[in-house]
Structure 1
Amino acid sequence: MFERTSIIAEAGVNHNGSLELAKRLIDVAAEAGADFVKFQTFKSSDVLTSRAQKADYQKARTDAHQNQLDMVRKLELSPDDHFELVEHCKSRSIALVSTPFDIVSANFLVDDLKVDFVKVSSGDLTNAPFLLHLAGLGAPILLSTGMGLLGEIEDALGVLAFGYLKPAGVRPERSAFCAAYRSAQGQFVLAEKVSLLHCTTEYPAPIDCTNLRAMDTLKQAFGLRTGFSDHTPGIHVPIAAVARGASIIEKHLTLDREMSGPDHRASLEPAQFADMVSSIRDVEQALGSGRKMPTRAEISNMTVARRSIVAARKIEPGEVFSADMLTTKRPGDGLAPMELFALIGRPARRAYAADEAIDGVERG
């Protein structure tokens, strides 16, 4: 599903319900060099009851007296909107993906839009029926793990493994999920289809709650491709995540952080998002292969910086080399200093002036 670090511009609901604003978010994501632009696909009444209250961060940026259902209704994109956005993405050479929040939306994304993968929000990590349905659709899944314990993540992966494998005649229940997860086929399909995102579910997320080392834990525990969904201010934490091995970075994108809406304050504006992408690409190059050897940029400096064995004084032919007759000086275009010890006790086959390079291990 992913090769180099994949960068997902999380447009989310930062379009504020405006199709034109959504298109502009696609434009800036493409201009910044993101690989994907991600929206959220939902039918509000299938996701929320009227009793659902807004999170504190949502209250801070929207009408505090409005419930979550009323807020979210204004942020829905219709199926026609999605098709139009897909066409706009094609014109900008960027792929559209989305997070579904209900079964109808999931079916629409996979069957009609044919997205490359679906993102599962952290809030649905424990939503076993929804996970089972998603895996049954067969599409690759990017699973966000905010608020999750390792056991909960393993449970979710068991549901996904079962959903992908669809074992005939086996009832979906916890024991069957565990068996699917532990099976060789289950591990294979998870490695092929599922990637994990470490995440801190707060907007914006405090730096001291980021815990980037949890990415290492996820990799070690599950052996899956792992990335980071970032809600911290600025760009330094996702860049650090790439240096720690994140293969996927998701970051919210907005046109203006001061706009009214639940996620704008936890988002990057276009210029800053572009800086993040550029910095991540630099980090990827800087990480290199891991092999310790002279790099292309160093080779021309080796002669300049290293030393050769030279005569410390005038040496006559036949004189036996001693330590005080030899020294090492730049440039490094002669016999390497590592050979100095092999010269000691051997006769000089010719005369050398002071500072003249010794031209080989002399044989007596």
Structure 2
Amino acid sequence: MTTNNIKFISEIGINHKGSIDVAKKLIDISAKNKCWAIKFQYRNIEKFYKSSNEIGDEMILDEIKRSYLSLTKLKTLKKYAHSKGLKVGISFFNRKDFEEIIKTDRDYDFFKIPSAEFSNFDLIKAVSKENKLIVMSTGGHNLKQIKNNINKYKFLKKSAYLVCTSNYPAEIGSQNLSVIGELKKNKGIVVGYSSHDKNYEIPIIAGYIGAEIVERHITLNKQGDGLDDSTSSDPDELNKIMYLLNSYQNVMGDSKKPINQGEILNMQNLGTSLYAKKDIEKNQKVSLQDFEVKAPRIGLSINEWDSQTKKILTLPISQGSVLTSSHFKKEVKVSENKLKLLNELKISLPIRFHDLEMILNKFQLDNFELHLSYKEVDMLKNYKNTKLLENKKITIHLPDYLNKHTLFNPFSDNKKIKSDSIKMIETVTDFYQNVSTKTNNFILVSSIGVNSYSEKEEFYLNLKKLIDKYKKQNINYLPQWLPKKAWYFGGSFDTEVFSDYEDIELINLYKINICLDIAHLIMSANSSKADWKEWYGNLINFSKHLHVSDSIGEDGEGVEFGEGQLDNLEDILKLDQTKVLEVWQGHLNNFTGFSEALNYVAKIAKK
């Protein structure tokens, strides 16, 4: 069940306290956290200890007796763990116990040799005959001894060696994690780490520096009265460990270090561009002295100035406007014939109030989607220039934010956030009703990435009620499909709804109409290691409005059409729904991105 190359073994050991119910709870927790395996310990309590005269021996024997589970009960638990998708292993301390185990049940996925028996050649040779993975802890042995044993055990076909410190607990400074790297110099062996650490973060470090298998005891209660409880991880710690271990591949990422969307946004917001000090006509030669450096970076930066070989403007620039590469290039245009075709396909472009007039004049399209900021919502009551929207089919996209520190959420358990979100919807619908457009059924798109309820199903049930409420007012309120990782407040945010397969099932169950964002769909499916086209097939019948753009990976939104994973654009264009081309920063650079995207879509449609 693990989602990366680090295999985590939940060592149940004796923390079940002899209870099958407790053991099942520990198995459930391991499965929920996507552990690779669970492991039991077995000792024949009647034969294992010859004497218990020492104080330490008495304590251990008492604990073993209290926590004893028969091999028959362990077999039942093994089947239960297998039903949860977990591998199951078992450890033992002598050959007789091992022989007793395989006489009862051979169907374990691996056998574990504890540190105390790491040099027990006779035992390990006997176990090897089962042709199963043998996992060995190396505590109580120095590097020279470990290497000698590895050389001695070369005959093993399936083996793993876990670096380990046999202290309970192991304090900071006793781990010697550098041994992991030393052992990995032996080609062809699996190296891991068995943790008895006081600090649960240590096994995470071990995984990130090369441990392929990580083992740690788990318990329901670290303050319990068992001998191993205090050196084990409770469900909360296990969740933290597994979150980071299962995120290993994402954390390590791409050695080419591609720039993600969040970085692009932050570079734009925090960076600078060149802005004209005065009005300059086209065909004029310009110099760096004609511009000043200001934020934000929505055009050419000062370090990009030299890349423009010819410093003659092909477009005029007004005082205070940003200089872009389009000022030095031939303008990209979209022909009337292509625009006619695009209107037949119900192609739409996103617009903002500040560029609304320019886009409407430049692109003679029938459909546009007005994207609002939270400040613009407050200005709607006083907005007078509504004639620009007449004779157009307009959809509106609500802001993601209520204000600079709060996300839009009409289902929030915070009364003010919920009230303000509903008020935002009503303000926008009131504005729309005062605008004369050709739209019959008003489409209102929003992003809701937070589940404020204890169960997802409750969220979707209440969402359905809200959608039905607005439907009676001829308003199609369409929540938007989201990526698993969205970019808010300058950082990454894990969405809780509209981003995984469970959401697809609930959308189908409650027949919820949505706005399907294709780029977001690709990224969310990639996050789940799923086929985005399969998800598309499950959602398209409930998709009454489309946002169309290309993407790649889990956060690769904004790639140009044809450079990502969107390879069925021709089929999407045949659909009857309005299709908003969500071109990344298409509104910048004299709308070059919009023009290029429209030309590309028209070309694909003609095939």
1:137 corresponds to: 130
Aligned to 2:241, the other structure's residue is in SS state helix
Query: What is residue 51 of structure 2 aligned with on the other side?
Result: 50
Match of 2:114 among 109, 121, 139: 121
Q: Distance in 1 between matches of 2:48 and 2:160?
A: 24
Q: CA deviation at 1:361?
A: 8.0
Q: Which residue of 1 aligns with 2:164?
A: 199
Query: Which residue number in structure 2 is paired with residue 12 of structure 1?
Result: 13
Q: Are 2:33 and 1:79 aligned? A: no
Aligned to 1:101: 93
- The separation in 2 between residues aligned to 1:116 and 1:346, in whole angstroms, is 70
CA contact (8 A) 2:38 2:86 kept: yes
The reply on whether 1:151 has 2:144 as its aligned counterpart is yes
Distance in 1, matches of 2:283 and 2:85, equals 74
Q: Distance in 2 between matches of 1:302 and 1:109?
A: 61
Amino acid at match of 1:198: V
- What's the secondary structure of 2:184's corresponding residue? helix
Task: Flag the structure with higher helix content.
Answer: 1
Unaligned stretches of 5+ residues in structure 2: 330-607
TM-score normalised by structure 1 residue count: 0.74
Instruction: Summarize the Cα distance change of 1:321–1:201 in structure 2 as closer, same or farther, 3 Å threshold.
Output: same
Code of the aligned partner of 1:352: I
Cα distance change of structure 1 residues 361 and 288 upon mapping to structure 2, 3 Å threshold? same
Residues 286 and 110 of structure 1: CA distance in aligned 2, closer, same or farther (over 3 Å): farther
Per-residue CA deviation, residues 158-198 of structure 1 (Å, 9 max, x unaligned), is: 23222x3xxxxxxxxxxxxxxxxxxxxxxxx4xxx222322
1:354 aligns with 2:347: no
Question: For 1:1-37, what per-residue CA distance to the aligned partner results, in whole angstroms no more than 9, with x for missing partners?
Answer: 9853222221112233444443443344334443322
Distance in 1 of aligned mates of 2:277 and 2:195: 61
List runs of 5+ in structure 1 lacking aligned partners.
165-188
Provide closer, same or farther for how the CA distance between residues 73 and 216 of structure 1 changes in structure 2, counting only shifts above 3 A.
same
Cα distance in 2 for residues equivalent to 1:300 and 1:67: 60
Q: Secondary structure at the match of 1:354?
A: coil
Q: Which piece of structure 1 moves more, 69-78 or 123-132?
A: 69-78
Give yes or no for contact 1:11–1:25 (8 Å, CA) kept in 2: yes
TM-score by length of structure 2 reads: 0.47
The equivalent of 1:25 in structure 2 is 26
Instruction: Please name the residue that 1:173 is paired with.
Output: none
Aligned residue for 2:258, secondary structure, equals coil
Contact persistence 1:198–1:226 (CA under 8 A)? yes
C-alpha contact 1:309 1:329 (8 A) present in aligned 2: yes
Q: Closer, same or farther in 2 for the Cα pair 1:95/1:322, shift >3 Å?
A: same
* Gap change, CA 1:351 and 1:67, over 3 Å in 2: closer
Q: Which residue of 2 aligns with 1:273?
A: 238
Query: Quick check: which has more Rg, 1 or 2?
Result: 2
Q: In 2, are the aligned partners of 1:320 and 1:346 still within 8 Å (CA)?
A: yes
Give the distance between the partners of 1:228 and 1:221, measured in 2 at CA: 16
CA contact (8 A) 1:228 1:249 kept: yes
Contact kept, 8 Å, 1:322 with 1:345, in 2: the verdict is no
Q: Secondary structure at the match of 2:153?
A: helix
Q: Which moved more, 1:10-19 or 1:301-310?
A: 301-310
Q: Give the secondary-structure state (helix, strand or coil) at the position aligned to 1:353.
A: coil
- Alpha-carbon offset, residue 342 of structure 1: 4.2
Query: Counterpart of 1:11 in structure 2: which amino acid?
Result: I
Within the candidate set 247, 259, 262, 2:212 is matched to 247
Identity of aligned residues (%): 26
**Rounded Cα–Cα distance in structure 1 between residues aligned with 2:5 and 2:277:** 53
